[in-house]
Amino acid sequence: MPPLVGQRRWTALLRTISIVSRNNAGIGNSSPLIDVEMEEVTRIFDTNVFAAIRTAKVVIPHMASRKCGTIVNVGSVAGIMPSPWGGIYAASKAALHSLTDSLYMECKPFNINVVLLAPGAVRSNIATNQAPHINVPPDSLYKGYYDHILDRLTRVQENNPMPTEVYASKTVNAVLRTRPPRYMSLGKMAGWAKVFSWLPRGWVLNMIWSQLGEGPRRAALKTQ
């Protein structure tokens, strides 16, 4: 097929797109921030942030020409309230939240809806997929926290997360509305993330550290 013909077909396809969901297959990470290799940091941001920008640059001109369309970016409650051992992932999601808010405003003149999803705990394979990639080198400052990093990762999926099909059904029904919500957060802990955002930041960070960082380590030492 000649390149020009292929380009025309691709352009025609883009003109028919009404809804784009981006970043639903993001990359996570559970490791101390300073132990994450820069190559991994780049890979996470490339998938969770830069890919969303690339997608927007491709589809928005075609949606704008039709004065309609919906863009859905999948963030995370981690982008609102980070926790220890997940700093790189949380930073990538916070960046996605900010650029989605900017897109929401910039797409107003073209009648394009922009939706940010910030799921809490939803049933998935995230713990299984990330566990082999926890990076705590033998000389790490955090080598004594490895078991608790793993526990933090697996606890979310063991503590009654929202069933995947329930989350999918609620989300799809909302996104398909004529006027979908600008922001939507569902799943276990989604409500707590909102409450935490209202409280003094330092108090919340210290409390999370005591629950997921130093507290579990000290408790384990007492049982030895």
By annotation, the residues acting in catalysis are 89
Burial of 167 (0-12, 13-18, 19+ CB in 10 A): buried
C-alpha 128/C-alpha 109 separation (Å) is: 43
Measured between alpha carbons, how far is residue 183 from residues 18, 27, 72, 140, 198 in Å? Answer: 19, 21, 10, 38, 17
Helix (H, G, I), strand (E, B) or coil at 22: strand
State phi, psi for 200 to the nearest 5 degrees: -55, 130
Reported in sequence order, the residue ranges of the chain that DSSP labels E, i.e. its strands, are 19-22, 70-74, 113-117, 183-184
- Encoded tokens for 160: 């009654």
